[in-house]
Amino acid sequence: MLGFLSARQTGLEDPLRLRRAESTRRVLGLELNKDRDVERIHGGGINTLDIEPVEGRYMLSGGSDGVIVLYDLENSSRQSYYTCKAVCSIGRDHPDVHRYSVETVQWYPHDTGMFTSSSFDKTLKVWDTNTLQTADVFNFEETVYSHHMSPVSTKHCLVAVGTRGPKVQLCDLKSGSCSHILQGHRQEILAVSWSPRYDYILATASADSRVKLWDVRRASGYLITLDQHNGKKSQAVESANTAHNGKVNGLCFTSDGLHLLTVGTDNRMRLWNSSNGENTLVNYGKVCNNSKKGLKFTVSCGCSSEFVFVPYGSTIAVYTVYSGEQITMLKGHYKTVDCCVFQSNFQELYSGSRDCNILAWVPSLYEPVPDDDETTTKSQLNPAFEDAWSSSDEEG
């Protein structure tokens, strides 16, 4: 650490390299924060979480009870032990509350004055954060599994919506109507995700085992159907032109948008080149996935080597994105985890589970000493933070 600081000061190192190295160290040290609770409001499982990208301070949660909660993650009390309080919630007594399970919540990408939610009650709702009233409601003929707004677009306000039907619907927030329908899948759409790199590129995942990339400006349909075999299997083979050998129920672009991660009920995770659709063949081993609906997983941002956090039963598995190595399993929930979200400003992770709890995972400043006969069980400060000075008595 001191070497990094010295090299940065003298101009020998790129300042970003120090930041990436420290971010990586913090992610590798993630542990359950015993000094921070997230107020328990939901009476059912937590299906979805989202942290607003403007300040990184406010988090939305949506539950199987139809309730939406807005949390303030900042420690305003300045106490070492504190609870992230619910600022407000859309509870069962709210006139516009979702009637059934909330499957996705998302902040408007450019400010915190608006957010969206979608539900099994066949609606997508646009909310005014200040009044907690609906600004618009989109109704669908089928159950809604997932929706997503582009995190980077300044040219359109389209919300991609995946439902129990095989068509992807694009809702325009400006006009208040469904402006596009994307056809190409054969079964329900379990996950949708806009590229964080290009305004008009959309990825969709379906129960038909397929993942498609679309340029929504084109009238001719999808750009690419991802093929796990990279075109090396005969078209007569059942798995040809499929991304997984089961339902594909999770999608996540890397932070730079150059790669796409997918998870399926075949207990596999795959990494794809998002420009040409090539399967990179990174082997993550078995990634347990029994979810019958969308699985919300997330990736790190700003690290030397990026990481992916995937709900894995009652734990969260952490892998390096490009090598496939499993780094650790984060254990703390006692029922199935359905979603997690990464806070990139402080390298923190929040996870939601069917045990109705939201847990906070934060970087540890301490590294445990191995528990054996020759060492004590006491933790020691991470070497990056140790005082390098020694007294003359010690040197003598």
| Strand-pair category, 259-264 with 268-273 | antiparallel
pLDDT for 393: 47
Q: What is the pLDDT of residues 301-359, one digit of tens each?
A: 989 889 999 999 999 999 999 999 999 999 999 999 999 999 999 999 999 999 999 99
User: What is the Cα–Cα distance from 2 to 287, expressed in whole angstroms?
Assistant: 38
Provide the residue type at 189 as one letter.
I
* Averaged pLDDT for residues 135-157: 93
Nearest-CA neighbor of 118 among 105, 130, 109, 134?
A: 105
Domain locations in the chain as residue ranges: 15-363
pLDDT for 258: 96
Q: Mind giving me the DSSP string for 180-228?
A: EEE---SS-EEEEEE-SS-TTEEEEEETTS-EEEEETT-SS-EEEE--T
Q: What is the pLDDT of residues 234-292, one digit of tens each?
A: 565 666 789 999 999 999 999 999 999 999 999 999 999 999 999 999 999 999 998 88
pLDDT for 280: 97
Q: Given pLDDT bands bounded at 50, 70 and 90, which one contains residue 220?
A: confident
The pair of structure tokens assigned to 100 is: 């059934």
Nearest-CA neighbor of 22 among 8, 39, 12?
A: 8
pLDDT for 173: 92
Longest distance between any two alpha carbons in the chain, whole Å:
81
Q: What is the pLDDT of residues 21-34, one digit of tens each?
A: 889 999 999 999 98
Pick the CATH number of 15-363 from 3.10.20.90, 2.130.10.10, 3.60.9.10, 1.20.210.10: 2.130.10.10
Helices (H) and strands (E) in the chain, counts: 3, 31
* Averaged pLDDT for residues 92-96: 94
